[in-house]
Structure 1
């Protein structure tokens, strides 16, 4: 039963043909073992790829040994790769789970590039798809996040996406084929395990057919996504020309904010940024928004989209500073350097310093003055352009702005005749 279902799914989704070599990601778990054996039985030229992440001590070595013996028994070639997953996670400041994913897929890409196989077959099944949908719902998502795991992504294919975990285990039981179990899958420390072990069983108490119903919904939403994508493409062509969004035309569309999201999100802008951008569309003041690769300038009824230049990237980089202390004596002089600021050390706790960009309502007391001044007015007085406003850093101490970096310090924290020790802050980059 499972073999014919998978064969039909591969044909329906046009995943592979029998002339191609399929490299199966083989963890040793039930799903990957079943995928390898079914593809082999269906006549595909198969190889296996096993990742040893060295995260579970002897259990990791057990999994590798099992994978090697399985492939030996079925005369299937296998590739093994070892990773220092913990070190990679530390160096890249990401979770262990994300590190393992990055390492795994990078190696899979390498195998294809080196000609070891034509496609990588991953053993995601129906239950994984449902768990992904629930996780996306919990984290917040658009329509695309509700369409679940896709059967094809470049040279990655997922031939058993229509098969349940129970069907996989039944198939292996009927063949009397053992597999290994990752002990961490039985713990609810990770978000996906929480969904699998707690949330889905609770949903099944409401409706025993919930998983089948959710999968049917995913299938339906994938069809809806095709209609939605076409509508977005047509609307985008109406409002976006020469890398400029016409704000008047944007507001003439059925859902301006949704369309703006679909245009900007692929450029690296997050949901909060896009919401802020949308909320400024009817303002008369120019404003710039940055993602890692692009900037959007709102000016004169248009949103101008431009790739970032190196200078833009430098402007967005968080300032790096050095902090020194110096006793005040008759020889002390405040250095004349725009990248350096001196304050009364008794008024500043270095652990409470942070850099921010300006927001409406921000103010400070400019050096040499007694009354406070809005940052926006300071920008106007100093003839700041829209780009200069968005690239200007402010140094805050607790909730107070103490330095418009490179321009003016706050009079409340400056060095006076009563100051005994200075704190000297220098911008390094």
Structure 2
């Protein structure tokens, strides 16, 4: 094969980034375009064990069928096994209420990963090149991005491998021309009807008028940013370990420890972005911590966040619907997928022993009136904490117990027919129903 310097450049990049191994097996995603055809030829020439995969998205009529035939003929002539799949992309997009572009992306990457597992491949090689990385950086700048958006496309992302990131589109086309190799062109890439195409067809040519080396310079910048992010990410990992802990219900971020970090707000954003919070929300959240505004809540699509005294609490926003459940007699009751409650009647015998624990209580059956009710604690609820004579607001009791607003919102109580709280669930029994020397029958209420 001619154009050895081009191939050596890619081979050196593969070695430098440790992208592929000679004893590995890899899938080459083959569209039939110049980029993927070049990737196929180069990896075959370098001696890698490869199989190709082509997706027909049935979006461009005869052109889609033309691409499939080209890939079939190419792999047959080169002695490379080809895997073909057809998708009804429009139906998938309509079903999932997403764009055609996103539907095609989801379908192909899900297929590639399943195929990788099926044939025991070590990775999936895609043909993104230097210009794609430059376009991605510009696209991220236009949309608004954090630092990670400034590094362009990564050479490795999980099982996805990009061996052509070191070469430009112009170099790829020159290679194919010199080698006398053909390819097909997706006509939709030549129309500036989507943002990425506008960047490729309009913006980059304008930038090249200013500086012909603009793509080289931008790509070099992405590499510098990538190296710098390795340093930053190590710092963020250390900051995460120092400031965040999981209490079993969600994450807690220690505000005072957060403020000792080199860049507290960026550290906070690096933590919160994993839970769907935007830079603008992070800025507002951090300002709230500085103002000591305990009790403020913020929501992402998947999580809820609470400023709680010295902590920021993050939990999944999957609260079960609050409801009131009547329990007319002894038995087992399912309140929701997290809570199952059992009520048992027990005869008091001489050898009966009370075993203290937070997940159950013992109540004097003669003092308790059925039906019982399980519900969330409400404003104004009062009870008589076990061991005390007077009553206390449930909210004040929970505050004294350092419970957060989220804890208070999900706190359950068991109430009897007279409207008296029998049990602050998993917290404390009511003193009015305590076992005494005169107690006969006993009701045991427990979370199981």
Query: What's the TM-score, normalizing by structure 1?
Result: 0.72
CA offset at residue 119 of structure 1?
1.3
Per-residue deviation, residues 214-272 of structure 1 (Å, max 9, x unmatched) = 11111111110011111222223332234321222322333221111011111222333
Matched residue SS, 1:168: helix
What does residue 290 of structure 1 align with?
299
Q: 1:11 aligns with which of 15, 18, 31?
A: 15
1:269 partnered with 2:273:
no
Tell me how far apart the structure 2 counterparts of residues 236 and 121 of structure 1 sit (CA, whole Å).
33
What does residue 249 of structure 1 align with?
257
Tell me how far apart the structure 2 counterparts of residues 271 and 255 of structure 1 sit (CA, whole Å).
14
Task: Map 1:17-416 to 2 at 5 A.
Answer: 17-115=21-119, 117-242=121-246, 243-281=251-289, 282-311=291-320, 386-387=405-406
CA offset at residue 64 of structure 1?
0.3
Matched residue SS, 1:48: strand
Tell me how far apart the structure 2 counterparts of residues 389 and 136 of structure 1 sit (CA, whole Å).
41
Contact 2:277-2:300 within 8 A present in 1 as well? yes
CA offset at residue 293 of structure 1?
4.2
Matched residue SS, 1:59: helix
Contact 1:247-1:301 within 8 A present in 2 as well? yes
CA offset at residue 28 of structure 1?
0.3
Contact 1:32-1:123 within 8 A present in 2 as well? yes
Change (3 A) 1:302 1:388: closer
Tell me how far apart the structure 1 counterparts of residues 18 and 263 of structure 2 sit (CA, whole Å).
35
Tell me how far apart the structure 2 counterparts of residues 380 and 286 of structure 1 sit (CA, whole Å).
16
Matched residue SS, 2:119: coil
Contact 2:10-2:164 within 8 A present in 1 as well? yes
Contact 1:287-1:390 within 8 A present in 2 as well? no
Per-residue deviation, residues 252-311 of structure 1 (Å, max 9, x unmatched) = 333221111011111222333323322321243402333344332211121123345552
Matched residue SS, 1:88: helix
Q: CA RMSD in A?
A: 2.4
Paired residue total: 326
List alignment gaps of at least 5 residues for structure 1.
316-378, 392-429
Matched residue SS, 2:304: strand
Matched residue SS, 1:280: helix
Tell me how far apart the structure 2 counterparts of residues 157 and 388 of structure 1 sit (CA, whole Å).
45
Per-residue deviation, residues 323-382 of structure 1 (Å, max 9, x unmatched) = xxxxxxxxxxxxxxxxxxxxxxxxxxxxxxxxxxxxxxxxxxxxxxxxxxxxxxxx9999
Tell me how far apart the structure 2 counterparts of residues 289 and 280 of structure 1 sit (CA, whole Å).
11
Tell me how far apart the structure 2 counterparts of residues 86 and 298 of structure 1 sit (CA, whole Å).
44
Contact 2:33-2:183 within 8 A present in 1 as well? yes
Per-residue deviation, residues 10-30 of structure 1 (Å, max 9, x unmatched) = 111111112112111000000
Tell me how far apart the structure 2 counterparts of residues 245 and 208 of structure 1 sit (CA, whole Å).
48
CA offset at residue 45 of structure 1?
1.2
Tell me how far apart the structure 2 counterparts of residues 20 and 239 of structure 1 sit (CA, whole Å).
41
Tell me how far apart the structure 1 counterparts of residues 142 and 408 of structure 2 sit (CA, whole Å).
36
Query: What's the TM-score, normalizing by structure 2?
Result: 0.69
Contact 1:288-1:390 within 8 A present in 2 as well? no
Tell me how far apart the structure 2 counterparts of residues 125 and 50 of structure 1 sit (CA, whole Å).
19
